[in-house]
Amino acid sequence: MKMENKNIALLIDGENISPNYIEIIVDEANKYGKINYRRVYGDWTTAQLSAWKKKINEFGITPVQQYAYTSGKNVSDFTLIIDAMDILYNGKVDAFAIVTSDSDFTKLVTRLREDNIFVIGMGESKTPIALVNSCDAFTYLDKILNGNDDATEDTPKTPKTSKKKASTKNESSITPLKKIKTELKTIIDANVEDDGYAYWSVVAQLLQKKFPGFHPRNYGQQMRPITFFENMKEFEIKKDKTVMYIRNK
């Protein structure tokens, strides 16, 4: 990915996201520009966040305290949302990186985008598809950390669980590859030039808008999307100097 020049507010739901992902989180955010705000939210009086405390100084993150007034509720949600709106109104950033797998943040993401703010989402494969598709781009953190060993071509699997049957809440929201390929064919057909090829830059942009969480690593492949599709029998790639083209076979 080409380095972008955005000013970013990185806001992490510490009660929902493991600190094991922090290096990936910072690396992914840095791809889009400069991180102006680095905050992680939670009740720091609890033992739950003790592992996060070891990462705060290392990565220059500001912990934001929110006491739990009731049990069984992720109280950091409210504080993160309020902070996000304050930062939005200050006008110092043009992108947010919201790190959570909690669908409660879907409305926040759609509200930020209403103000023409670019939103980068990050979470695990269990993240509800509504939140994934509300973002401009979404990164599945567990797919980077775990190396995609459990991914299959058409039906990405959920992380292993000790329960006999995974609940619907924990099912993977990664789009089956079959659906990705079907939509890609449609996009190519809608943007084809006289020679039967479509500009890859146009196709790639439209594909990401349709599936913000798409990346070959979700299906066990660490490569660029253009190379990923080039290896498939359904597509053909052509390069003319620095311009890439794709067509349906």
Can you give the pLDDT at residue 169? 47
CATH number listed for the domain at residues 6-170? 3.40.50.1010
Can you give the pLDDT at residue 160? 39
Low-confidence residues of the chain: pLDDT under 50: 1, 148-169
**Model confidence, pTM:** 0.82
Can you give the pLDDT at residue 84? 96
Can you give the pLDDT at residue 176? 94
Can you give the pLDDT at residue 144? 93
Which residues, 6+ apart, have CB-to-CB distance to 27 below 8 Å?
A: none
- Is the distance from CB of 98 to CB of 122 less than 8 angstroms? yes
Can you give the pLDDT at residue 32? 95
Can you give the pLDDT at residue 207? 96
CATH 3.30.420.610 fits 177-248, yes or no: yes
In the chain, where the domains are located: 6-170, 177-248
Can you give the pLDDT at residue 77? 79
- Is the distance from CB of 96 to CB of 119 less than 8 angstroms? yes
